[in-house]
Amino acid sequence: MSKHLSGSQIVCEALLNEGVDVVFGIPGGAILPLYGVLSEYPDLRHILSRHEQGAAHAADGYARSTGKVGVAFATSGPGATNLVTGLATAMMDSVPMVAITGQVGRTAIGTDAFQEADITGASMPLTKHNYLVMRADDLGATVHEAFHIARTGRSGPVLIDVPKDVFTEMGDYDPEAPIDLPGYRVPGKADESQVEAAAELINQAERPVILAGHGVVLSRSFDELMELAEKAQIPVVTTLLGISSFPEDHVLSTGFPGMHGMAYASLAVDEADLIINFGSRFDDRIIGDALRFSTGSKKIHVDIDPAEINKSIRVEAPVVGNIKDVFGQLIPKVKQATHVGWLQHIEHLKAEHPSLKIPESDRLMGQHVVKALSDVTKGEAIITTGVGQHQMWAAQHYQFKNANSWLSSGGAGTMGYEVPSAIGAQVGNPDKLVWSICGDGGFQMTLMELATVVENKLPVKYAILNNNHLGMITQWQGFFYNGDYQAETYTANPDFVKLAEAYEIKGIRVTRQDDLEAAIAEANAHDGPVVVDCVIEKVDDLYPMIPAGQSVQELIEEPN
Amino acid sequence: MALGNGTFQRTISALVQDKPGVLARISGLFRRRGFNIASLAVGRSERPGMSRMTFVVEGPDEVVRHVAAQLDRLIDVVEVHDITEQNIVWRELALIKVSAPAATRSEVLELANVYRSNVIDIGIESLTLEISGGRQKIDTLIELLKKFGLLEVIRTGRVATLRGTLIEGEDDGLFQADASAPTYILPVPTGETGSV
Ligand SMILES: Cc1ncc(C[n+]2csc(CCOP(=O)(O)OP(=O)(O)O)c2C)c(N)n1
Ligand SMILES: [Mg+2]
């Protein structure tokens, strides 16, 4: 049944019909008509961010941690452009999001009107799809299309730009109208012949390795991954974004490979005779030099996006389909196996190349903080991070036990993701413990969102790995620019404890290893947000490291 | 087909929705992914609300083999076929304004005749010819007309379609596939479609 409503009402009703219960955003002139009807829709909770980038990352954190589509609102011009980093971050990591932006009135479009920005033009390469909606009559169908596109297939962000006068125009909304997208197909099951070919390779393999990527997480195929790995006794290596798709206390868990991954994981991938890639795009941080990547192995690539097949690495057996469906097709065809010798060899690699050895030191180091967090929370917290050394230490030393408990900007590498993504994760998981492992650099890029934390009474715990440095930059300048250090030291970091207190957040400072566990326990026990300022070693390189574009032969395991 | 220096050409036919910005989406994708468009032809198709585009794309083989798959990701692209290795017929069109004073006019007309091109405009000092066909044929005519003085050359991109018969397509020497390279087959997803 069609309803006659204002554009703003159509948007809200369509959002509710999509099951949206929370929106992150900031109002402004062009989107005010939409805010003007929010009071009619109390089920649509609006969380006021402090910066639109924060709104976008919060929607992203909400989406990753719940599997639902995250929603962000912003006004035209600078409001919309402030969203862009968040869209790019979601796009690179295939995170389902819908952003709704206000636009100047229809007749003003193209006139360089006040706060006009061509956000559909600007966001075209950074979204899965976008719309400029010119009639209120089209709004309902557009919102439903946008959600369908955002959450199906290879998920991703979709932006809907709405001129101010389209929000106020009256239009017809039919919630039941079918979606008509003739150019959009959602892969489900894979072609049987592709699955057969993959199963045959798996059954013949002597040294198989599963490479579990973000696709396993996005398709929520954790049980299926476990079933396959256990049935054929195949070691599981995850990608950075595949972390938490497989419990790390499982014997088959073999870490993550690549630039800062565990040496044993990179070696296992290199020595394998078959790589079974589920939903990883063979990212350059994993493969390094494509011509020297695991040259002795055949490769199966299961992906929902046909364009990823043979993009970076040529594979013997492509399987295009929804990963969950493909697991269902594949598992019955895979024979039980033991791979005793190969698994022993993997154990040997783990013993010979421990990778996670924390250097002996009385000083407080980033690794100690993550290790303590892992121990105190028993590997059961939801972890979000920024980008840099702290991110990699988090990936290496936190022992993830729960599925989908790792939120990190992998593809885009967006510093500043740590603060707002934790907000989204906590909003989506009010009863879970959310810890954000922050860099002092990234934290300062989005710390204004602490106000959002307080305003919404979110008990997020922030651990700043405060090295007074852009640590990763320091490391690269040391390794690759002859130690010519430039613009990597902060000489004026704020006092993060006082800063927290200014927001009426509990602040704790830790400077010694011995105080770590107590501080973390105190933070966990506190009924509200906490900032733990962990003053760590100023300059400390992160190992292992495979320099960009190199291969496992160039792996640097330890400081020399 | 190999053009030397590691560059290959592929012919892609796409059916797209007539929506604002569709050309911007496609050209943006080409730019981003490093595909060079050697030619592009767009026009209304037999289906209402849809246009058909024919692209000839140039670049390293590994790169241009992905054009079809990348295009297919665009929501407004309804169908896309990489028809490089297929049995296709194609045409390009050129309008050539050539200097043709009385002294050389008959020679120009004779050439035009041999190449089965039509004279579509006659001036006092010039003739405008229309020619359609494969690229080599058009290239050759233009080459031959050079000595008379080319005033203007306007060329379209190629339009191409699959043959309805089994007769082998004519070969203009430019667009064969590289037989040594493994054929990239666009994996066709099965299952659910976009209409729900
Ligand atoms: C928005 C953004 N700007 C710049 C960079 C480049 N970059 C990568 S890591 C890094 C340093 C991060 O410093 P910090 O957040 O303190 O983390 P640390 O490496 O010290 O743990 C920088 C500047 C980035 N990834 N993102
Ligand atoms: Mg730092």
User: Which residues of chain A have a CB within 8 Å of the CB of B187?
Assistant: 191, 194, 306, 309, 318, 320
Task: Judge whether A472 counts as a catalytic residue.
Answer: yes
Contacts of A224 (CB under 8 A, 6+ apart): A324, A327, A328, A331
Strands, E, within chain B: which ranges? 7-17, 36-44, 50-60, 77-82, 88-99, 118-122, 126-133, 150-155, 159-162
- Which residue did the predictor score with more confidence, B35 or A533? A533
Residues with CB under 6 A from ligand 1: A 386-390, 413-416, 439-442, 465, 467, 469-473
DSSP, res B2:
B
User: Which residues of chain B have a CB within 8 Å of the CB of A307?
Assistant: 66, 69-70, 72-73
User: Which residues of chain B have a CB within 8 Å of the CB of A305?
Assistant: 73
For residue B5, pLDDT beyond 70: no
User: Which residues of chain B have a CB within 8 Å of the CB of A120?
Assistant: 21
Amino acid B180: pLDDT:
43
- Tell whether A189 is within 8 A of chain B (Cβ): yes
| Atom number in ligand 1 closest to CA A418 | 15
Do B75 and A181 make contact, defined as CB atoms within 8 angstroms? yes
pLDDT band, very low/low/confident/very high, at B20 (cuts 50, 70, 90): confident
- Can you give A254-294 as a three-state secondary structure string? CCCCCCCCCHHHHHHHHHCCEEEEECCCCCHHHHCCHHHCC
Structure tokens at A555: 């792996």
The chain B residues in contact with chain A (CB within 8 A) are: 16-17, 20-21, 24-25, 28-29, 32, 65-66, 69-70, 72-79, 184, 186-196
Tell me the ligand closest to A393's alpha carbon: 1
- Rounded to the nearest angstrom, the distance between the alpha carbon of B121 and the centre of ligand 2 is 73
Number of C-alpha atoms within 13 angstroms, CB side, residue A89?
Answer: 29
In angstroms, the separation between the Cα of residue A82 and the nearest Cα of chain B is 21
Which domains, and CATH codes, for chain B? 2-86 (3.30.70.260), 89-155 (3.30.70.1150), 163-196 (no CATH)
- Rounded to the nearest angstrom, the distance between the alpha carbon of A530 and the centre of ligand 2 is 19
Whether the CB-CB separation of B99 and B126 falls below 8 Å is answered with yes
Q: Which amino acid is at A63?
A: A
DSSP, res A108:
G
| Atom number in ligand 1 closest to CA A443 | 15
Amino acid A361: pLDDT:
86
For residue B181, pLDDT beyond 60: no
For residue B185, pLDDT beyond 50: no
For residue B118, pLDDT beyond 90: yes
Rounded mean pLDDT of B43-59? 91
Amino acid B191: pLDDT:
38
- Cα dihedral across residues A118, A121, A126, A132: positive or negative: positive
Do A310 and B66 make contact, defined as CB atoms within 8 angstroms? yes
Contacts of A165 (CB under 8 A, 6+ apart): A105, A106
In angstroms, the separation between the Cα of residue B140 and the nearest Cα of chain A is 38
For residue B186, pLDDT beyond 50: no
- Tell whether A106 is within 8 A of chain B (Cβ): no
- Tell whether A321 is within 8 A of chain B (Cβ): yes
The residue count for chain B = 196
Of B25, B70, B189, the CB nearest to A124: B25
pLDDT band, very low/low/confident/very high, at B189 (cuts 50, 70, 90): very low
Share of chain B above pLDDT 70, in %: 81
Mutate to test the interface with B, among A118, A128, A320, A324 (most CBs of B within 10 A): A320
How far, in whole angstroms, is CA B155 from its chain's centroid?
A: 10
Task: Judge whether A170 counts as a catalytic residue.
Answer: no
For residue B166, pLDDT beyond 70: no
For residue B194, pLDDT beyond 50: no
Which domains, and CATH codes, for chain A? 3-173 (3.40.50.970), 192-352 (3.40.50.1220), 366-535 (3.40.50.970)
For residue B86, pLDDT beyond 90: no
Mutate to test the interface with B, among A135, A152, A161, A184 (most CBs of B within 10 A): A184
Of B70, B74, B195, the CB nearest to A179: B195
pLDDT tens, position by position, for chain A (560 residues)? 799 999 999 999 999 999 999 999 999 999 999 999 999 999 999 999 999 999 999 999 999 999 999 999 999 999 999 999 999 999 999 999 999 999 999 999 999 999 999 999 999 999 999 999 999 999 999 999 999 999 999 999 999 999 999 999 999 999 999 999 999 999 999 999 999 999 999 999 999 999 999 999 999 999 999 999 999 999 999 999 999 999 999 999 999 999 999 999 999 999 999 999 999 999 999 999 999 999 999 999 999 999 999 999 999 999 999 999 999 999 999 999 999 999 999 999 999 998 888 888 889 999 999 999 999 999 999 999 999 999 999 999 999 999 999 999 999 999 999 999 999 999 999 999 999 999 999 999 999 999 999 999 999 999 999 999 999 999 999 999 999 999 999 999 999 999 999 999 999 999 999 999 999 999 999 999 999 999 999 988 999 999 988 999 899 988 87
- Burial class of residue A63 (count of CB atoms within 10 Å of its CB; 0-12, 13-18, 19+): buried
The residue count for chain A = 560
- Burial class of residue A260 (count of CB atoms within 10 Å of its CB; 0-12, 13-18, 19+): buried
Nearest-angstrom CA–CA distance, A68 and A96: 7
User: Which residues of chain B have a CB within 8 Å of the CB of A179?
Assistant: 194-196
Instruction: Report the candidate in A345, A295, A330, A335 with the shortest Cα–Cα distance to residue A205.
Output: A335
- Tell whether A120 is within 8 A of chain B (Cβ): yes
Amino acid A558: pLDDT:
83
Do A125 and B20 make contact, defined as CB atoms within 8 angstroms? no
Of A148, A188, A189, the CB nearest to B196: A148
Instruction: Report the candidate in A58, A122, A48 with the shortest Cα–Cα distance to residue A90.
Output: A58
Nearest-angstrom CA–CA distance, A438 and A435: 9
How far, in whole angstroms, is CA A62 from its chain's centroid?
A: 10
Tell me the ligand closest to A387's alpha carbon: 1
- Rounded to the nearest angstrom, the distance between the alpha carbon of A465 and the centre of ligand 2 is 6
Nearest-angstrom CA–CA distance, A192 and B175: 33
Q: C-alpha angle B61/B67/B71, rounded to 5°?
A: 175
In angstroms, the separation between the Cα of residue A124 and the nearest Cα of chain B is 7
How far, in whole angstroms, is CA A224 from its chain's centroid?
A: 21
- Rounded to the nearest angstrom, the distance between the alpha carbon of A390 and the centre of ligand 2 is 7
Amino acid B3: pLDDT:
67
- Rounded to the nearest angstrom, the distance between the alpha carbon of A472 and the centre of ligand 1 is 6
Amino acid B179: pLDDT:
40
Amino acid B168: pLDDT:
55
Give the ipTM of the model, two decimals please.
Answer: 0.89
Task: Judge whether A365 counts as a catalytic residue.
Answer: no
pLDDT band, very low/low/confident/very high, at B176 (cuts 50, 70, 90): very low
Nearest-angstrom CA–CA distance, B16 and B12: 12
Mutate to test the interface with B, among A118, A160, A179, A309 (most CBs of B within 10 A): A309
Amino acid B2: pLDDT:
64
